[in-house]
Structure 1
Amino acid sequence: MENVFVDSKDIEYFAPDMKFVRFKAEVNQGNVKGTVANIRVQNADIETGDETRLIGDFNIKGLPNINKTIFDFSGRTIADLLLKILKN
Protein backbone atom coordinates (compact mmCIF):
# COMPACT_ATOMS: atom_id res chain seq x y z
CA MET A 1 0.00 0.00 0.00
CA GLU A 2 1.38 3.41 -0.92
CA ASN A 3 0.11 6.97 -0.57
CA VAL A 4 -3.14 6.07 1.21
CA PHE A 5 -5.17 8.31 3.53
CA VAL A 6 -6.87 6.64 6.52
CA ASP A 7 -9.48 8.20 8.77
CA SER A 8 -10.34 6.44 12.04
CA LYS A 9 -13.98 6.58 10.94
CA ASP A 10 -13.06 4.08 8.19
CA ILE A 11 -11.70 1.67 10.80
CA GLU A 12 -14.78 2.22 12.97
CA TYR A 13 -16.87 0.50 10.30
CA PHE A 14 -15.06 -2.79 11.11
CA ALA A 15 -14.38 -2.05 14.80
CA PRO A 16 -17.24 0.01 16.31
CA ASP A 17 -15.37 0.62 19.59
CA MET A 18 -12.94 2.80 17.61
CA LYS A 19 -15.57 5.56 17.68
CA PHE A 20 -13.80 6.82 20.81
CA VAL A 21 -10.44 7.19 19.04
CA ARG A 22 -10.13 9.85 16.35
CA PHE A 23 -7.18 10.30 14.03
CA LYS A 24 -6.25 10.75 10.40
CA ALA A 25 -3.14 9.17 8.93
CA GLU A 26 -1.15 9.25 5.73
CA VAL A 27 0.28 5.85 4.83
CA ASN A 28 3.35 6.52 2.73
CA GLN A 29 4.04 2.80 2.41
CA GLY A 30 3.35 -0.54 4.08
CA ASN A 31 2.79 -4.18 3.24
CA VAL A 32 -0.49 -5.19 4.90
CA LYS A 33 -1.63 -8.79 5.41
CA GLY A 34 -4.25 -10.55 7.49
CA THR A 35 -7.75 -9.87 8.69
CA VAL A 36 -9.28 -7.14 10.85
CA ALA A 37 -8.75 -9.43 13.87
CA ASN A 38 -5.08 -10.05 13.02
CA ILE A 39 -3.40 -7.29 11.00
CA ARG A 40 0.30 -7.54 10.11
CA VAL A 41 2.13 -4.61 8.54
CA GLN A 42 5.74 -4.64 7.38
CA ASN A 43 7.88 -1.74 6.19
CA ALA A 44 5.33 0.81 7.35
CA ASP A 45 5.82 4.55 7.05
CA ILE A 46 2.77 6.24 8.55
CA GLU A 47 2.31 9.90 9.54
CA THR A 48 -0.41 11.41 11.72
CA GLY A 49 -0.55 15.07 12.55
CA ASP A 50 2.54 17.22 12.35
CA GLU A 51 4.85 15.38 14.75
CA THR A 52 3.90 11.71 14.81
CA ARG A 53 5.42 9.13 12.53
CA LEU A 54 5.68 5.34 12.72
CA ILE A 55 8.38 3.63 10.72
CA GLY A 56 8.76 -0.14 11.02
CA ASP A 57 6.68 -3.27 11.46
CA PHE A 58 3.63 -3.86 13.63
CA ASN A 59 0.84 -6.28 14.45
CA ILE A 60 -2.64 -5.49 15.70
CA LYS A 61 -4.52 -8.43 17.23
CA GLY A 62 -7.97 -8.45 18.76
CA LEU A 63 -10.11 -6.04 16.76
CA PRO A 64 -12.98 -5.32 16.65
CA ASN A 65 -12.81 -5.34 20.49
CA ILE A 66 -10.53 -2.34 21.07
CA ASN A 67 -10.43 -3.00 24.83
CA LYS A 68 -8.77 -6.38 24.25
CA THR A 69 -6.67 -5.43 21.26
CA ILE A 70 -2.90 -5.83 21.42
CA PHE A 71 -0.65 -3.41 19.51
CA ASP A 72 2.83 -4.83 18.95
CA PHE A 73 5.22 -2.30 17.39
CA SER A 74 8.74 -2.96 16.25
CA GLY A 75 9.71 0.39 14.87
CA ARG A 76 12.01 3.32 15.03
CA THR A 77 9.62 6.17 15.72
CA ILE A 78 6.33 6.53 17.54
CA ALA A 79 4.78 9.39 19.49
CA ASP A 80 1.40 11.02 20.02
CA LEU A 81 -0.85 8.48 18.24
CA LEU A 82 0.02 5.60 20.56
CA LEU A 83 -0.52 7.78 23.63
CA LYS A 84 -3.92 8.84 22.32
CA ILE A 85 -4.95 5.23 21.69
CA LEU A 86 -3.75 4.04 25.09
CA LYS A 87 -5.60 6.81 26.94
CA ASN A 88 -8.89 5.56 25.51
Structure 2
Amino acid sequence: MVVTDTATITSKSMVNIPASLRRKYALKEGTKVAFVEYEGAILLVPLLSPSELFGIDRDHKDEIVKAVRGLESERRREAGKD
Protein backbone atom coordinates (compact mmCIF):
# COMPACT_ATOMS: atom_id res chain seq x y z
CA MET A 1 0.00 0.00 0.00
CA VAL A 2 1.29 3.43 -0.92
CA VAL A 3 0.24 6.47 1.11
CA THR A 4 -0.04 9.38 -1.31
CA ASP A 5 -2.02 11.90 0.71
CA THR A 6 -3.57 12.30 4.12
CA ALA A 7 -6.73 13.97 5.41
CA THR A 8 -8.22 14.84 8.78
CA ILE A 9 -11.68 13.88 9.99
CA THR A 10 -13.61 17.01 11.00
CA SER A 11 -15.78 17.46 14.09
CA LYS A 12 -18.75 16.56 11.87
CA SER A 13 -17.05 13.30 10.75
CA MET A 14 -16.33 14.64 7.26
CA VAL A 15 -13.19 14.00 5.22
CA ASN A 16 -12.02 15.90 2.14
CA ILE A 17 -10.63 13.64 -0.57
CA PRO A 18 -7.35 15.13 -1.83
CA ALA A 19 -7.62 16.82 -5.24
CA SER A 20 -4.95 14.57 -6.77
CA LEU A 21 -7.02 11.48 -5.96
CA ARG A 22 -10.28 13.10 -7.08
CA ARG A 23 -8.70 13.85 -10.45
CA LYS A 24 -7.02 10.44 -10.76
CA TYR A 25 -10.28 8.58 -10.11
CA ALA A 26 -12.61 11.12 -11.76
CA LEU A 27 -14.52 11.72 -8.53
CA LYS A 28 -16.84 14.68 -8.66
CA GLU A 29 -19.65 16.14 -6.60
CA GLY A 30 -22.49 13.65 -6.40
CA THR A 31 -20.32 10.55 -6.93
CA LYS A 32 -21.55 7.81 -4.61
CA VAL A 33 -18.99 5.81 -2.65
CA ALA A 34 -19.03 2.68 -0.52
CA PHE A 35 -16.99 2.16 2.63
CA VAL A 36 -15.57 -1.36 2.72
CA GLU A 37 -13.82 -2.90 5.73
CA TYR A 38 -10.98 -5.15 4.57
CA GLU A 39 -8.13 -6.61 6.63
CA GLY A 40 -8.18 -3.87 9.25
CA ALA A 41 -8.52 -1.03 6.76
CA ILE A 42 -11.38 1.09 5.47
CA LEU A 43 -11.50 1.32 1.69
CA LEU A 44 -13.37 4.11 -0.06
CA VAL A 45 -14.76 2.60 -3.26
CA PRO A 46 -16.42 4.79 -5.90
CA LEU A 47 -19.73 3.42 -7.14
CA LEU A 48 -19.39 4.29 -10.79
CA SER A 49 -21.75 3.57 -13.65
CA PRO A 50 -20.76 0.79 -16.09
CA SER A 51 -19.77 3.32 -18.75
CA GLU A 52 -17.51 5.12 -16.26
CA LEU A 53 -15.88 1.82 -15.30
CA PHE A 54 -14.84 0.92 -18.84
CA GLY A 55 -11.03 0.68 -18.97
CA ILE A 56 -10.46 1.94 -15.42
CA ASP A 57 -8.62 -1.25 -14.43
CA ARG A 58 -6.14 -1.46 -17.29
CA ASP A 59 -3.24 -0.08 -15.23
CA HIS A 60 -4.03 -2.19 -12.15
CA LYS A 61 -5.05 -5.56 -13.59
CA ASP A 62 -2.56 -7.65 -11.59
CA GLU A 63 -3.48 -5.96 -8.30
CA ILE A 64 -7.20 -6.40 -8.97
CA VAL A 65 -6.85 -10.09 -9.87
CA LYS A 66 -4.80 -10.69 -6.70
CA ALA A 67 -7.38 -8.90 -4.53
CA VAL A 68 -10.30 -10.79 -6.07
CA ARG A 69 -8.55 -14.13 -5.62
CA GLY A 70 -7.82 -13.24 -1.99
CA LEU A 71 -11.47 -12.40 -1.38
CA GLU A 72 -12.60 -15.62 -3.07
CA SER A 73 -10.20 -17.64 -0.92
CA GLU A 74 -11.41 -15.88 2.24
CA ARG A 75 -15.04 -16.59 1.35
CA ARG A 76 -14.28 -20.28 0.74
CA ARG A 77 -12.53 -20.53 4.13
CA GLU A 78 -15.47 -18.81 5.85
CA ALA A 79 -17.96 -21.10 4.09
CA GLY A 80 -16.03 -24.14 5.31
CA LYS A 81 -16.34 -23.01 8.94
CA ASP A 82 -20.16 -23.23 8.94
Relative to the length of structure 1, the TM-score reads: 0.27
Q: Which has the larger radius of gyration?
A: 2
Higher fraction of helix: 2
Query: If each structure's strand is expressed as a fraction of its own residues, which one has the higher value?
Result: 1
